[in-house]
Amino acid sequence: MKKALLLTMVLFTCQFVFSQSITTINYFKWSDPTTFKLSPSPYIKGYGHYSDSLSNIFDDKDFYEFNNEYYCIESWADYYYWYTKKYWHQFDNPAVYEYYYWTKNDLGMASYIASYNYHGKYYPSSIKLIFKDVAITNRLSSNIYIAKNENQITQLKDQKQHYKTANKQASQQKWPSGHSQRGINTNRGSSNRVQPATTSTSVVTSGTRTQSKNIK
């Protein structure tokens, strides 16, 4: 009886913690670092071998890795840029998000993530989105698609098994109508990619333009 009561209390506490950690943000704050810092930490992270070294070089910023490239994570725009790269199989035409990212289009980025372009059963973040006076499909208008317990987070991490037939090459080449990848100015503000001198690892950073630095 005591064990059953204890288990019930633990489950209730976990449910309470998850339900209390959902933040609502406006779509125009998608690229705002302060909004990201004040939001609950994403469920899925991507630290790599050089993440700590890069963090030490670039003012304690977080760096996630995919395919031997490191992405500086300072906003939800940055996080989902990395996420659409690593988990491309969960999206329709992830190049659309990349286009919006490099053109700094918060409405385009946020609406893409909140729409059915994302096929995941749950989202890797505990945020709801507000699109005031903008008529779009918004799956993040409620907490229905936000993971609420460890089991759902595990499903989120394992759901790539459902997309084995996805065509990565085709999905990454389709840019928004009327635009081509070659015509895009990829200088997102002063963002750039640096090539560390002692490794073949490239780094995608945002904010202040950086110079190449050694990673040891």
Neighbouring-strand partners of residue 130: 26
Q: What is the DSSP letter of 42?
A: P
Q: Strand, helix or coil at 173?
A: coil
Model pTM score: 0.74
Domain borders along the chain are 22-205
Angle between helices 76-86 and 95-102 (to 10 degrees): 150
pLDDT tens across the length of the chain (216 residues): 544 444 444 444 444 344 448 899 999 999 999 999 999 999 999 999 999 999 999 999 999 999 999 999 999 999 999 999 999 999 999 999 999 999 999 999 999 999 999 998 899 999 999 998 888 999 999 889 998 888 888 887 776 544 444 444 444 455 555 444 433 334 454 443 433 334 455 676 654 333 334 454
The Cβ of residue 94 has, within 10 Å, a number of other Cβ atoms equal to 24
Cα–Cα distance for residue pair 145/124, rounded to 1 Å: 10
